[in-house]
Structure 1
């Protein structure tokens, strides 16, 4: 037991050291060094449900804001699975305000074509068409969404990846518009919070956002806006999920 205790302390100390080094390095990195568009560029984060922005993308959204990019959000449903759509739309706007995104830069699609339902497969062509319309209207330099596994395996998340992948591979995106996808990780890495930092630093990714302690508090405050979703297991998620601290992303 003593050996286990020593190992736990050692891992915690090493992780803390990694974090301090990364916090310092992150402040010095420019968008160009990270392979991202420069300050003043526009980024569009595309999610499936209200609370995705806080549960999964808070490090990305706060990281892009830190790099002085103008972040907008496109949500493909009102989250009406339990008939709470109107409540959840208000919660999303509150959460985005905490993350620094005003209501004018938040678009919520509320249509029967894209129901909040893991058993319903959204039509890829229709999602792609809708997404492209918003991209052409808002003109982002960067689009950010889920990867092929959708972080949690939710079919609605994966539908967004399939749509943006189709637009990218079909050459339909505007010139200069790049796409980043949020890397899914295994269950162990997903719930070790800071202990995942060494792996995140060592494993390949194109962009890595790691929040400072102050920004983590901001991300948790954003998640707390989703009162209707704060069941007991989501409180555990807020405490232990690495997505409340770390986002690893890959360019398409």
Structure 2
């Protein structure tokens, strides 16, 4: 579901830590044709030697597994791997300078550049993930808006159109639903068009995520092995395009009845394709969540 999203446009993926690229953004790396990755920290929470080790691991993951165009590290003093919120305060301008230089480099001779990063929830809520989101949102909102009025997409930096996409943080029950969460993740697209949301899915996501994490040998402990096995993020990324104030992306597609048909078909495929699995409880919970969400959506659409 990538209508209005050009997968050949040069794309900059901005992450906080080494291993973020394969734990959370595998479908993104597999979908875009030309990607460069910038990591704002070296992951050296335990010290300088750990940071050097993790830089090498991420380089191998990006180059040997995902074949990205380039893997870069910010090396900004004070922008470190930390669990303490607010530690990056006052360094935002340095991050922005780096991002702008990367965008100009990627956009050299091109008309547009995509940027992909976390949303406000940061997938896991880690403060560094959330800081990535906050810094890029604030910067993007200050860029000159593209000509075209409320139907325009993106902003401009030195003559290059910039579009910012943020990885949607999903509910916990969807986060660990593997591919079974796909119907719920795509529901907004079917119900009301959600033309600012783009779904990137990969059948080989789990394989590539596992191979990428194997390169991050120092981090591939048991709970991250379980994450790769059960996480929906290794199979599906929902990217939400950032809108500047005044931009309004419409779609006339999507009726509630059509959405229910799609939901039913998806659930039927899940049930028959996996023989009910031991996932009957999950399927029942998913149905319940579908109708909770759909009820809220119908109320919203009717101004209730």
Question: Structure 1, residues 188-237: CA drift from partner, whole Å, max 9, x if none?
Answer: 1111111111101213451101111x343122211221110111111110
Q: Relative contact order, CA 8 A, sep 6+: which one is greater?
A: 1
Q: Secondary structure at the match of 1:228?
A: coil
Match of 1:152 in 2: 124
Stretches of structure 1 that go unaligned for 5 or more consecutive residues are: 1-25, 27-32
Q: What are the Cα deviations for residues 33-91 of structure 1, in whole angstroms up to 9, with x where unaligned? A: 5222353x210000011000000001111011xxxx31111111100002210110011
Q: 1:114 to 1:141 in 2, by over 3 A?
A: same
TM alignment of 1:149-188, pairs within 5 A: 149-171=121-143, 173-174=156-157, 175-188=160-173
**Structure 2 residue 45 is the aligned partner of structure 1 residue 81:** yes
Q: TM-score, normalised by structure 2?
A: 0.66
Q: Secondary structure at the match of 2:161?
A: coil
* Distance in 2 separating the partners of 1:202 and 1:165: 25
- CA–CA separation in structure 2 for the residues paired with 1:63 and 1:37: 10
Matches within 5 A, 1:190-229: 190-204=175-189, 206-212=197-203, 214-229=204-219
Q: What RMSD in Å do the two structures reach over aligned CA positions?
A: 1.8
Q: TM-score, normalised by structure 1?
A: 0.79
Task: Name the counterpart of 1:6.
Answer: none
Aligned to 1:178, what secondary structure does the other structure show?
A: strand
Segments of 5+ residues of structure 2 without an aligned counterpart are 145-155, 243-304
Q: Tell me, yes or no, if structure 1 residue 110 matches structure 2 residue 75.
A: yes
Secondary structure of the 1:80 match is: coil
Distance 2:172 2:205 in 1: 24
Max Rg structure:
2
* Number of positions where the alignment pairs a residue of Structure 1 with one of Structure 2: 213
CA separation of 1:216 and 1:34: change in aligned 2, threshold 3 A: farther
Aligned partners of 1:37 and 1:141 also within 8 Å? no
On the 8 A contact 2:209/2:228 being kept in 1, the answer is: no
Candidates 30, 49, 62, aligned match of 1:96: 62
Give CA deviations for 1:129-176 in whole Å, capped at 9, x if unaligned: 332232223326100000011111111111111111112110165241
